[in-house]
Chains A and B, each alone.
Chain A
Amino acid sequence: MANAPLHIITLVKWVPDAQLERRYNAEGRIDRAEGVLSELDEYPLEAALQLREAAADREVRVTALTMGPAGASTAAKKALQIGADDAYQLTDEALIGADIWASSVALRAAVEAVAGAGEFDSGEPEYLVLTGMASEEGESGAIPAQLAERLGAHVVTYATGLELTPDRLVVTRSGGTESQKVAVAMPAVVSVTDQANDPRYPNFKAIMAAKKKPLTRLSLADIGLRPEEVTAKVRVLSTTARPPRTAGEIITDEGDAGLKVVEFLAKERLL
């Protein structure tokens, strides 16, 4: 099936702005009252759009999928402005406090629902899930592999380059001590790093066009899950703000600062 349609489902997360102060609330959860589309999720979205643009003879749809509280719809809307064709938002009270385990349970059901809902003109689609390299606030990077395990999909993490061939996706990734080029069959989950591309900004025309694109809200029931199926396996016991670092001794170089730094290091037993 050289030219089967491809449905790219890009996971985008609404996160507290890393440029501002981020905090935990009294329940031991990250305060999500305000947020932005995670910068790390702009790279997989850009990668999806570039794959769509490069595939002239293939029907490719880019769907943005977000999971989060009501405000997360702004992440989905931003993704539509940047260029996704349609968007879905999974939101449910029962998902508050979801850990990695519970998040991947919910995302698996959501991906399957979204992949099943897509209607394509040119036949049965294959699907590809793209994610950021990690979430900006959790920084675990464990969701792509868990999601793939649950979907029965292949997984490639930390992609720095992606290219579609007729039957597979060729991914360049950085694997610690070596760079690897791998070919992966669909369905696949691929996490994309900030080295992969330079994400585009939406222009006025794209922002206006996005208003007409569909954004569908899903509850747990809509994707066939009961609240008890997304109960977290890990609980947070305590959160303590780290005391802010304070400035120490600041000197201005008068020709001997190099000596003074070494003196300081010796005094602190750091040599």
Chain B
Amino acid sequence: MSNVLVFFDVLGEALSPTQRELIAQAQSLGEVHVAVGAYQGDPTPALALAGLGEVYLAETSLPAPEVAVVDLLETAVAECEAEVILGSSTADITDALARLAVRLDTGIICGVAGLNGELVATKSELAGSYTTTSQLIPAPGRPLVATFKPNSLDPQRVDALLDAGDQPDGTVLPVRPSEGGVEVLERTALKVSARPALAEARVVVAGGRGVDGDFTPLEDLADELGAGLGASRAATDAGWIEHAAQVGQTGVTVSPQLYISAGISGAIQQRAGMQTAGTIVAINKDEDAPVFEIADFGVVGDLHEVIPQMIEELRRRKG
């Protein structure tokens, strides 16, 4: 069995769905140890899972962009003799693991969907138009560093793989915050939405130009479905919704089970961000909209009529 080190840049009171998925992926490869960057109080209760190995912490919490997380990771890798180091494919985690790979003089594979027992990584490339497999060229003492795309495992499967266990003890490693270099002048918390994060959501409702300035019907539909809310570049450029909601090549790439596209023509830029979705439903007034070429179910019609009717029907079915 390999030793696997999983990196969480932030750990809250409970594991996020993405963090649970990562542990489930890691457990299929070997014994899982965890390194935690930023936390408040005692982070270990969130990690009370069966079969978990060591939990590594620095002497103090290390919130991003604190570069000392790389020292923490480097020390933890040596401590647990990790052969695989995993994290999610978010910006701050990618920064830390990319630096770690330099220090360990090894390769990094980013945006992985699956990793098998031979450490062959499967991933989606060129905006979902290809699936590739790749592998570290083997060499003695060379661990694999990889970042995972969320939503690669079914949540029910994750629940089945993870069993509750005893609260682990944290192991504090002699790592302190770095001095100078990057000084944080200001931190502003971004508006926290009650909806699931776009990249992690199992269902995404997205609107474009056809929304015509008012996202309320889409918000209502998203809430009815427990979905994340997305938008095309046209809608975010128009200022109808925040830029973080942009799905597409230069925004968030999503791969949900269900993607509902409303009032989006489906230009290549947008399609690149969603074409690996399980099922695509499209609503658009223009019957020639390219989105219909890839939709599993399409409605040529006005979203301002179709969506309220959907919401009404969903509520009726829920009774």
Interface residues of A (CB under 8 A from B): 18-19, 21-24, 28, 30, 39-40, 99-101, 104, 133, 136-146, 148-150, 154-158, 170, 173-185, 194-195, 232-242, 245-253, 255-262, 264-266, 268, 270-271
Residues of A within 8 A of B97 (CB): 142
Q: Is the CB of B90 within 8 A of A140?
A: no
* B272 within 8 A of partner (CB): yes
Q: Is the CB of B295 closer than 8 A to any CB of chain A?
A: yes
Chain A residues, CB < 8 A from B135: 234-235, 237
CB-contact partner of B186 in A99, A141, A181, under 8 A: A181
Contact between A257 and B306, CB atoms less than 8 A apart = yes
The answer to whether A248 and B133 touch across the interface, beta carbons within 8 angstroms, is no
Known: A156-B65, A251-B300. A258 touches B134 (CB 8 A): no
- Chain A residues with CB under 8 Å of B133's CB are 236-238
Give the residue name and chain of the A residue nearest to B128 (CB): A242
**Contact at A180–B300, with CB atoms within 8 Å?**
no
Most chain B beta-carbon contacts within 10 A, residue among A138, A173, A236, A255: A236
| B102 in contact with A104 (CB, 8 Å) | yes
Indicate if B187 sits at the interface (CB-CB under 8 A). yes
Q: Which residues of B contact A235 (CB under 8 A)?
A: 134-135, 137
A180 lies within 8 A of B186 (CB): yes
CB distance from A92 to the nearest CB of B (A): 20
A262 to B, closest residue via Cβ: B313
Complex CA distance for A24 and B111, rounded to whole angstroms: 18
Beyond known contacts A146-B99, A236-B133: 18 more, CB 8 A cutoff: A140-B108, A141-B94, A142-B97, A146-B101, A195-B243, A232-B107, A234-B134, A235-B137, A236-B134, A238-B132, A245-B294, A246-B294, A251-B298, A253-B305, A258-B306, A258-B312, A259-B313, A265-B258
Chain B residues closer than 8 Å to A181, beta-carbon distance? 184-188
Bound complex: CA A183 to CA B314 (Å)? 50
Chain B, residue nearest A266 (CB): B317
Contact, CB under 8 Å: B94 / A234: no
If over half of A's interface residues share one DSSP class (helix, strand or loop), that class is named, otherwise mixed; here it is mixed
Q: Indicate whether A258 sits within 8 Å of B102 (C-beta atoms), given known contacts A100-B110, A237-B133.
A: no
B48 at the binding interface (Cβ < 8 Å)? no
**B306→A261 contact, CB < 8 A:** yes
* Chain B, Cβ-Cβ closest to A195: B243
On chain B, the residues within 8 Å of A240 by CB distance are 130-132
In the assembled complex, which residues on chain B have CB atoms less than 8 Å from the CB atom of A23?
126, 130
Contact of B295 among A100, A149, A250 (CB under 8 A): A250
Instruction: Please indicate the chain A residues that have their CB under 8 angstroms from the CB of B294 in the complex.
Output: 245-247
**Chain B min CB distance to A169 (Å):** 10
A181 to B186, CA, bound (A): 5
Q: How many inter-chain residue pairs (CB < 8 Å) link A and B?
A: 261
Which label, helix, strand, loop or mixed, suits the secondary structure of the B interface?
mixed
Closest to B192 in A: A177
Interface set, chain B 162-215, CB cutoff 8 A to A? 180-190, 192, 203
* Across-interface contacts of A234 in B (CB, < 8 A): 107-109, 134-137
Question: Residues of B contacting A145 with CB < 8 Å?
Answer: 94-96, 98-99
Q: Measured between C-beta atoms, what is the minimum distance from A36 to chain B in Å?
A: 14
Q: Which partner residue on chain B sits nearest A268 by CB separation?
A: B279
Residue of B nearest to A234 (CB): B107
How far, in Å, is B267 (CB) from chain A's closest CB? 9
Residue B238 at the chain A interface, CB threshold 8 Å: no
Determine whether B161 belongs to the interface, using a CB cutoff of 8 Å to chain A: no
User: Do A248 and B268 touch (CB < 8 A)?
Assistant: no
- Given known pairs A140-B111, A183-B185, A261-B310, the reply for A22 and B298 (CB within 8 Å) is no
Question: What would 5 A/B residue contacts be, using CB atoms closer than 8 Å?
Answer: A138-B110, A140-B94, A249-B296, A261-B283, A261-B306
Q: Return chain A residues, CB-CB under 8 Å to B45.
A: none
Residues 265-309 of chain B, each 1 if its beta carbon lies under 8 Å from chain A, else 0: 000110010011001110100010000111111111110011111
- Cα A262 to Cα B187 with chains together (Å): 42
Q: Which residues of A contact B98 (CB under 8 A)?
A: 100, 142-146, 149
B61 at the A/B interface (Cβ < 8 Å)?
no
Contact of A233 among B142, B296, B301, B312 (CB under 8 A): B142
Q: Are B65 and A182 in contact (CB under 8 A)?
A: yes
Does B27 count as interface, using CB distance less than 8 angstroms? no
B91:A258 contact, CB within 8 angstroms: no
Residues of the B chain whose Cβ atoms lie less than 8 Å from the Cβ of A133: 250
Closest to A173 in B: B65
In contact, B299 and A260 (Cβ under 8 angstroms): yes
CB atoms of A179 and B190 under 8 A apart: yes
Chain B residues near A101 (CB-CB < 8 A)? 101-102, 106-108
